[in-house]
Amino acid sequence: MEKDNRRSDLLSPKDSVNTGLNLKHLSGIWIGKLIMGASRLTGRGGTTLPGRAALRFSPGILAYLSRQLAQGSVLVTGTNGKTTTASLLTGILRQAGYQCLHNQSGSNMSWGVASALIGAGAWSGKLPGDIGIMEVDEGAFPAVVRELKPRGAVVTNIYRDQLDRFGEIDHVQKTILSGLDCLPPDSFQVLNADDPSLTDMRSDRPGRTWYYGLELELPPDLFRNTAQDIKSCPHCHDQLFYERIYFAHLGRYRCQKCNFRRPKPDVTLNKRFFTADGRTVIELRLQGKSLKLDYPLMGAYNLYNALAAATCATALGVPADLIGAALTKAAPSFGRMERFSMDGRTLIMALIKNPAGANEVLRTLIEKEGKIHLLVAINDKIADGTDISWLWDADFEQLKSIRERLAPVVVSGQRAWEMVLRLKYAGLDSAGITLEESPKQAILKALQLTPPGEILFIMPTYTAMFDLRRALNALGVAKPYWEGP
């Protein structure tokens, strides 16, 4: 009863719809479930192929499954932060009493969303959840919007990413905008006010736009202006003036020639400080209240992820106290500052896939006191982006500032030699770099260089992260990623 009482004032259920199951949908679900079971028996994740097969057999299956969700769905897209934001939002809604369906493994193409729904449902096709929280790849966003017809969408940010797929930032912007244009008229959108590439998006569409942003007064070296992708006004192309840059092109901006400027955020993060015992405390301003809470996620970029999730939850009608309670219990998402323990050592895995994300992981690493132990693994498969030239835009030169504290860096992956070269150009000596192409041997070598009681940071690209996870699983350290946290 308590759960139902908590939910009574929150989300408004959508109108009843005809979700009649036809034989084609049912066959697609069975095919997907059989492939998923076989895939997991062989040690694979079953997060891609089941959805691909089901969609090929029954193209309308995604729309059918999503129509069962009484509270609809929310999509989370953007270059960086979508996995963590979707995870935080799921935690908030579960705190509020909802049964959420969520593609927690991070498989975020249309077939990944289909796999998540098929995996969560029964063989009859019935789904157990109230609402779907789906992370969606930027390129797949328009198609998934058309199928799911979500009640809302969150866009975290836009950076240069996977140049072989997207090209420059304006292409990503146009793709996301085309998805927002497909949203139902009564849906909402949640945008990062600090990103001029998002606030430039057309604002005359039906449905409310919610903005979030930082309102911090911080030392200028905490958020460094590196890999800045937006330097000119998207309206008149004059130079943008920044009153404060938080990182990359995110900050407080305005054009001195036209009226383009950062919109006033609906939800803000006003304070961030560290306690004597090392805890991070943040203060959010939302729903007319100031909310001070412990926030367990490392990294300054996770401030934006908390803001995005809190703003979307506010748009969905979740009270501030439930939002705060959920954020204090936040856990790292798959491969995003995810922690493991092995032989008395702590391993922290932080995905890198573009300059902006890599810079902030490096910043988090450098802020740590004491000896730094590091493993970098670079692949160039399609899911990573076959163009790895972004490594030269990432600020690995930051490592020079901690050379005295930096243990020999272990490098692995298909493009390990290129990463070794990049570190040499960043100012590291050859003697301080160890190459181990095998994921398992790279982990064992890095652990050998990390004394008990200390932390090993692991910075992999996307498919390298899966290679390392399989190695950790074989070593008895990590459970299969599809099982969730």
**Three-state secondary structure string covering 35-58:** HHHHHHHCCCCCCCHHHHHHHHHC
Segment 160-177 shows an average pLDDT of 71
pLDDT of 163 above 60: no
pLDDT of 41 above 50: yes
pLDDT of 193 above 70: yes
Segment 408-419 shows an average pLDDT of 95
pLDDT value at residue 1: 37
pLDDT value at residue 140: 93
pLDDT tens-digit profile of 314-331?
Answer: 999 999 999 999 999 998
**The pair of three-digit structure tokens given for residue 36, joined into one six-digit string:** 């998923």
Asked if residue 285 lies in contact with residue 62, where contact means CB atoms within 8 angstroms, the answer is no
**Among 206-215, 221-230, 284-293, 345-354, the least confident range:** 221-230
pLDDT value at residue 15: 41
* β-sheet bridge partners, residue 434: 410
Q: Exposed, middle or buried: residue 411 (CB in 10 Å: 0-12, 13-18, 19+)?
A: buried
Whole-prediction pTM: 0.83
Question: Sheet containing 409-412: which strands, arranged edge to edge?
Answer: 336-342, 345-350, 455-460, 373-377, 409-412, 433-435
Asked if residue 19 lies in contact with residue 67, where contact means CB atoms within 8 angstroms, the answer is yes
pLDDT band at 106 (very low <50, low <70, confident <90, very high): low
In degrees and rounded to multiples of 5, residue 437 shows phi and psi of -70, -30
More confident residue, 217 or 373: 373
The residue with tokens 């992981």 is: 361
pLDDT value at residue 203: 56
Dist. CA 6–CA 322, nearest whole Å: 10
Asked if residue 301 lies in contact with residue 357, where contact means CB atoms within 8 angstroms, the answer is yes
pLDDT value at residue 216: 85
The answer to whether the Cα torsion of 120, 125, 126, 130 is positive or negative is: positive
Segment 138-162 shows an average pLDDT of 90
pLDDT value at residue 11: 55
At a CB cut-off of 8 Å and minimum separation 6, what does 110 contact?
A: 51, 55, 62, 140, 143, 144, 147
Which helix (H) or strand (E) segment holds residue 397: the answer is none
pLDDT band at 53 (very low <50, low <70, confident <90, very high): confident
- Hey, what's the torsion of the CAs at 460, 464, 466, 468, to 10 degrees? -80
Dist. CA 16–CA 129, nearest whole Å: 15
Asked if residue 432 lies in contact with residue 408, where contact means CB atoms within 8 angstroms, the answer is yes
At a CB cut-off of 8 Å and minimum separation 6, what does 81 contact?
A: 156, 157, 301, 304, 305, 308
Asked if residue 25 lies in contact with residue 61, where contact means CB atoms within 8 angstroms, the answer is yes
**Among 18-32, 84-98, 364-378, the least confident range:** 18-32
pLDDT tens-digit profile of 230-239?
Answer: 678 888 888 8
Nearest to 288 by CA among 308, 315, 305, 266: 266
pLDDT band at 44 (very low <50, low <70, confident <90, very high): low
pLDDT above 90 covers a percentage of the chain that reads 48
**Mode of pairing for the β-strands spanning 433-435 and 409-412:** parallel
* β-sheet bridge partners, residue 280: 274
Q: Exposed, middle or buried: residue 135 (CB in 10 Å: 0-12, 13-18, 19+)?
A: buried
Dist. CA 26–CA 38, nearest whole Å: 18
pLDDT band at 479 (very low <50, low <70, confident <90, very high): low
pLDDT of 93 above 50: yes
pLDDT band at 195 (very low <50, low <70, confident <90, very high): very high
* Cβ neighbours around 224 below 10 Å, total: 17
pLDDT of 443 above 90: yes
pLDDT of 18 above 50: no
At a CB cut-off of 8 Å and minimum separation 6, what does 23 contact?
A: none
At a CB cut-off of 8 Å and minimum separation 6, what does 444 contact?
A: none
In DSSP notation, 148-185 reads H--SEEEE-------HHHH-SHHHHHHHHHHHHHTS-T
In Å, how far are 245, 342, 459 from 225, measured between CA atoms? Answer: 7, 36, 21
Dist. CA 77–CA 192, nearest whole Å: 12
Domains of the chain: 2-327 (3.40.1190.10), 336-483 (3.90.190.20)
pLDDT band at 13 (very low <50, low <70, confident <90, very high): very low
